[in-house]
A and B are shown apart, each in its own frame.
Chain A
């Protein structure tokens, strides 16, 4: 095997190189030649090609993502901002939390189980590399139609992969989403979120500081799996033929990851580490170039010291390998023995592969020959930046004009028709119980989970003494984003913010996973730019900063992109998880209130989706109202005025009440305002609403608070376990009575709600 050295590159400047096959454009290749003043060696070409891929360099999104920094609200909670592995937020009492959501869409389509599993593993290492102990994961998932053949292939594998990795690792999975839509048929979305906590003094950053310090690679051995996996896979579009080309994917080992977590936290707490970085996409290329450019600027690596699973790997392959469960640490020479001893204790292999220097160059040596000599910033941070053209699609006007009005789609009027509509929504894959999926995940391991699906947010306790905890929700209605990407992104933010508030937590920070089609399509690029603008403006208005996130482009089948899907995760803090607000109401006599205004808004709604219709405008978004609602929900929780609260979104008020009744098992009677159109009142998906349940003793205090703050509050019902006989069942039967329109039997509804996914995938 001949090795392409720097000397060889100088001697043979005109040797043709396969830059196009590695995904580099001719001008990008020329730029590498200009930077180096010669042709790159094959190892350098490998490094640049993966690091300059869309996935690693954000070359199409960078110019837009700057808005998250430019429009950052004034806040003193952000300890580490965008740009590091994950942002870090101060939650008080000396505690900090870090959280982030990332995509693993393309690998999960090719190999559902391992793709999803390694997606979980990757985000956990991101959180770990900040110095935090990972506490919980969440997984927003999106699939094609529930009854499509390929959904039956990918969904069980993806769910098993998420569960398999997380369960083995011992991390609770506390929530997420499962959404079905035609547009994801050839391109499912697997987003993975992890949250971790640490003391303020334990925050660590990815930088190689201190000349003479050692670069240690530890964890699993490097193999040939996933060579170019993330980078090449993530930048390619699947054609309509499906997975004909099957690139090598990574296989994860959660038990190795568990050892890596414990070893890493122990070396960090022992003060043995100057800088740390996880190995994800682009493997050693990424870790060494990022560490070097964030630190002293120089690093020398002896690549032949890397421990290999497959001894035949070439240096190019070692640089690009995406083998899982590896980390890279910067350690002072005086501490290296202690570091290696702790790794040995945890049965984690570790080897010194390099040294920090002030040369300003990243140099890599292979058995005595120099194969890489580059300025590390040009690899890690100064990749190409594209101002991709974008324009509003011509079809937007027609789409927005095509509202699901009564003359366009017949609306239910009679009690029987309304009941049928509700039952249809309950049995729709998007609104049906997700228990078949979430029961495959361990939601309570570690013993700190206080809320998990189907609650509005996942919530975990962080401090066992004080009960301090965090709540997280992820949301996005891609149909809203298709109808208006700016508003759709804000609606995703609003829903997530509302879900966190409904549990009683104060929203603090935002992460996002922006899943879109090809950035080379100006219409997709417009959707992306609008969504980013909407999200940045929304975060500024709500006063919560974006702490980091991820962009996933090229999510399309042929020329058809997915629905624009800017998944938003909001994190909130609660000073004592004992005062959390669940969605289940309490005993007889408690009062049910709707907060906020209901309008005739069905564009992008689940009801319209069931009718096969997508058109019109998404619901109005009023972030000042969202903020007010959040304040009332948090104050109501803090002052002990609320028994239950539930965000009103998919399926409207009717579906929200059904979910509360199912969670509680107790019936209720509701009435509609006299002037309300029953269909609109029950099923519209207007934003800025929640249903709260209040003990009678708190009614005056709560309604006065709403009135004083200017939040509309309407009493619409009462918890009542004695309605069975009136509805024609035996007296003990629990029913939900919708005025004089119709009644549903809660246990019958439960059977329906819980049977949908098992029937499809069980």
Chain B
């Protein structure tokens, strides 16, 4: 079994209204000195069987086409092999 974790974040130059709202709420709820909050999303994909080059290529492509919007988001993809 292989686990693939795809983290998607807005590109640093892109405004993140949700992160800003969370930042405001943190301040109101007592956490002082919050310089910035950025909110992203994480996909955990569990594969039957091991990772191979073909699947890695498809995953890499779909991470850019389906899981993230490459116009405004970046993603990182990490593979964890279970023994």
Bound form: Cα–Cα A246–B70 in Å: 8
B14 neighbours in A (Cβ, 8 Å): 223, 225, 248, 251
Verify if B11 is at the interface (C-beta below 8 Å from A).
yes
Asked if B17 contacts A309 (CB within 8 A), the reply is no
Verify if A512 is at the interface (C-beta below 8 Å from B).
no
Verify if A672 is at the interface (C-beta below 8 Å from B).
no
A223 neighbours in B (Cβ, 8 Å): 13-15
Asked if A114 contacts B13 (CB within 8 A), the reply is no
B20: contacting residue among A224, A253, A310, A323, CB under 8 A: A253
Smallest CB separation, B11 vs chain A (Å)? 7
Which residue in chain B gives the minimum CB-CB distance to A310?
B13
Smallest CB separation, B44 vs chain A (Å)? 25
Verify if A719 is at the interface (C-beta below 8 Å from B).
no
Verify if A42 is at the interface (C-beta below 8 Å from B).
no
Asked if A111 contacts B12 (CB within 8 A), the reply is no
Bound form: Cα–Cα A110–B71 in Å: 8
Verify if B72 is at the interface (C-beta below 8 Å from A).
yes
A114 neighbours in B (Cβ, 8 Å): 71-72
Verify if A581 is at the interface (C-beta below 8 Å from B).
no
Given contacts A246-B70, A249-B71, A249-B72, contact A310 B17 (CB under 8 A): no
Verify if B69 is at the interface (C-beta below 8 Å from A).
yes
Bound form: Cα–Cα A748–B65 in Å: 40
Asked if B17 contacts A251 (CB within 8 A), the reply is yes
Verify if A255 is at the interface (C-beta below 8 Å from B).
yes
Which residue in chain A gives the minimum CB-CB distance to B16?
A251
Asked if B17 contacts A253 (CB within 8 A), the reply is yes
Bound form: Cα–Cα A111–B14 in Å: 13
Which residue in chain B gives the minimum CB-CB distance to A313?
B13
B21 neighbours in A (Cβ, 8 Å): 255
- Near B by CB (< 8 A), chain A positions 575-632 give none
Asked if B15 contacts A111 (CB within 8 A), the reply is no
Asked if A220 contacts B71 (CB within 8 A), the reply is no
Bound form: Cα–Cα A225–B13 in Å: 5
Verify if A250 is at the interface (C-beta below 8 Å from B).
yes
B72: contacting residue among A251, A253, A256, CB under 8 A: A251
Smallest CB separation, B58 vs chain A (Å)? 20
A225-251 vs B, Cβ < 8 Å mask (1 yes, 0 no): 101000000000000000100101111
Given contacts A111-B71, A111-B72, contact A250 B12 (CB under 8 A): no
B7-26 vs A, Cβ < 8 Å mask (1 yes, 0 no): 00011111111001100000
A220 neighbours in B (Cβ, 8 Å): 15
Smallest CB separation, A703 vs chain B (Å)? 58
B20 neighbours in A (Cβ, 8 Å): 253
Bound form: Cα–Cα A485–B69 in Å: 39
Verify if A324 is at the interface (C-beta below 8 Å from B).
yes
Which residue in chain B gives the minimum CB-CB distance to A253?
B17
B13: contacting residue among A110, A111, A246, A248, CB under 8 A: A248
Which residue in chain A gives the minimum CB-CB distance to B21?
A255
Smallest CB separation, A117 vs chain B (Å)? 11
A251 neighbours in B (Cβ, 8 Å): 10, 14-17, 72
Which residue in chain B gives the minimum CB-CB distance to A110?
B71
Which residue in chain A gives the minimum CB-CB distance to B24?
A347
Given contacts A253-B17, A253-B20, contact A310 B12 (CB under 8 A): yes
13 CB contacts below 8 A, A to B, read: A110-B71, A111-B69, A111-B72, A114-B72, A223-B14, A223-B15, A224-B13, A225-B14, A246-B71, A248-B11, A248-B14, A251-B72, A255-B21
A-B CB proximity, top 9 nearest: A224-B13, A253-B17, A111-B71, A251-B15, A246-B71, A251-B14, A225-B13, A225-B14, A248-B13
